[in-house]
Amino acid sequence: MPSQDVISRDNVSVKVNAVVYFRVVDPQLAIIKVANYLEATSQLAQTTLRSVLGKHELDEMLAEREKLNLDIQNVLDTQTDAWGIKVANVEIKHVDLNESMVRAIAQQAEAERARRAKVIHAEGELQASEKLLSAAEILSGRPEAMQLRYLQTLTQIAGDKTSTVVFPVPVDVIGPVLEAAARIKKGA
């Protein structure tokens, strides 16, 4: 079958190459019912190809060829049965896209990958925030655990090569130390 220009349901123009395999099962009907069964079958196959593929979107044309082949074959076989012709097989060989459509599909695929990466990143952030909330709840319930966490942080900071370290210390931790220092100062 010659290459056919097809416009998909989502308005994408493509060129489609296909082959149709058929056999004459009743030679009398093939001669009497139609003037030239080869030409008639070819013309019917071309219009059926355009009609069937025009009902589908581009993604379906590219991904579901076997289903489309069977759809075209069933339509052709039903219509050529009266001519004594049995359509054995239809194969879509190639779907050609123009260059701008190929670029658009590539951009769409890239955008989809970026979207998935953002979703994965957001899910990671959500899991991390849930773990941090859980840790904060545990630490807030045990003041000594919080003091150990402060000491651990001090140890980590002390390993850095910085010359100045500013570390906030809660008043409830430093309060007893300041009171003891004040008592010592009064006693001296």
Q: Each residue of 113-125: pLDDT tens digit?
A: 999 999 999 999 9
Domain ranges of the chain: 4-97, 98-159
Backbone Cα Rg of the chain: 38
Q: Under CATH, domain 4-97 is a member of which superfamily?
A: Band 7 domain (3.30.479.30)
Q: How far apart are CA 171 and CA 176, in angstroms?
A: 9
Low-confidence ranges of the chain (pLDDT < 50): none
- Take residue 150 and report the two structure tokens written for it: 């402060």
Confidence (pLDDT) at 57: 87
Q: State the CB neighbour count (10 A cutoff) for residue 109.
A: 10
Confidence (pLDDT) at 98: 77
Confidence (pLDDT) at 163: 61
Q: How far apart are CA 157 and CA 146, in angstroms?
A: 16
Q: How far apart are CA 143 and CA 22, in angstroms?
A: 85
pLDDT tens-place string over residues 103-146: 877 888 899 999 999 999 999 999 999 998 988 888 788 877 77
